Copies of this chain bind each other. A is one copy, B any other.
Amino acid sequence: MVPANLSGATRLVPILAHPVDHVRAPRFYNPAFAAAGLDWCQVPMGVHPDDFAATVAQLARVGNLQGLNLTIPHKAAAHALCVRLGPEARRTGVVNTMRLDADGQWSGESFDGVGFVEAARANGVLRTDGPVMLVGAGGAGTAIAFALAAEGARTIHVVDREPGRAEQLVDALRKAFPGIAADIEARGIGQAGLAINATSLGLHEGDAMPFDAALLRTDAALFDIVAARDTELMAACAARGLKVVGGKPMIDHQIAAQIAFWRGDPPH
């Protein structure tokens, strides 16, 4: 269940969550730390929102702290505690990664967007010259949309089961990237070179499909951010011969960028 050689020399990366039971991130992060030759351990801690700021302040004084990971519901509160913010944190208003700098102040950044972009690039599906269809305008979808826009994407269609959320993201994109063609046009899927599932649909067997694979161009690519399993959407797109990328490379690229940040590199 636990490492044979965790020791006092191990550097800690607590991941703060509430509730904490469902957190499975250490299964990705700890092997990645080991593969990078780092004696670090990501440790889930269940912290109530009321205790968040005080817990972070106390953890700042722990001698073998390497950094912090934040997940639901702490990402906006983490943003508020950081004196220095990376570009993705500034764009999205959330922080999932914190580092204590030499002056005792926190630097914060989010890495969902860079994780997506680098995974898409590494897998040859970073298609920013044609239209992109983004399904899901929550935290991950927002990070991905901004990162794609920052990479030069010209046309992004956004849909969400809460239409207001999609509209809000489109407005924010237009404000941040005045030249962009962003809309909430679901029929855009027929022209998209890249379609993205940024919802959690597919995480559980029997989930509804986030969209109909049959609507996609045969030369389109699918990026499904669900990492825990191969989704039915991925299978349907693969059956049509489309290029398909799952969520695991996004996690791997995110972790690589986070490790560099925790080591002290400036954010991307």
B63 near A20 (CB under 8 angstroms)? yes
> Contacts of A30 on B, CB cut-off 8 Å?
1-4, 6
A1 near B8 (CB under 8 angstroms)? no
A26 near B44 (CB under 8 angstroms)? no
Q: For residues 35 through 51 of chain A, which have their beta carbon under 8 Å from a beta carbon of chain B?
A: 38-48, 51
**How many copies of this protein are present in the complex?**
2
Interface residues on A, range: 35 or more
A175 at the interface (CB under 8 A from B): no
A34 near B1 (CB under 8 angstroms)? yes
Classify the secondary structure of A's interface with B. Answer: loop
B23 near A4 (CB under 8 angstroms)? no
> Contacts of A8 on B, CB cut-off 8 Å?
17, 19-24, 44, 46
Given A1-B10, A8-B17, A44 contacting B27 (CB threshold 8 A)? no
B61 near A51 (CB under 8 angstroms)? yes
CB-defined A-B contacts under 8 Å, sample of 22: A1-B6, A1-B30, A2-B2, A2-B10, A2-B34, A3-B6, A4-B27, A6-B27, A6-B42, A6-B43, A6-B44, A7-B24, A7-B26, A8-B19, A8-B22, A9-B21, A12-B43, A18-B63, A20-B63, A41-B43, A45-B64, A47-B61
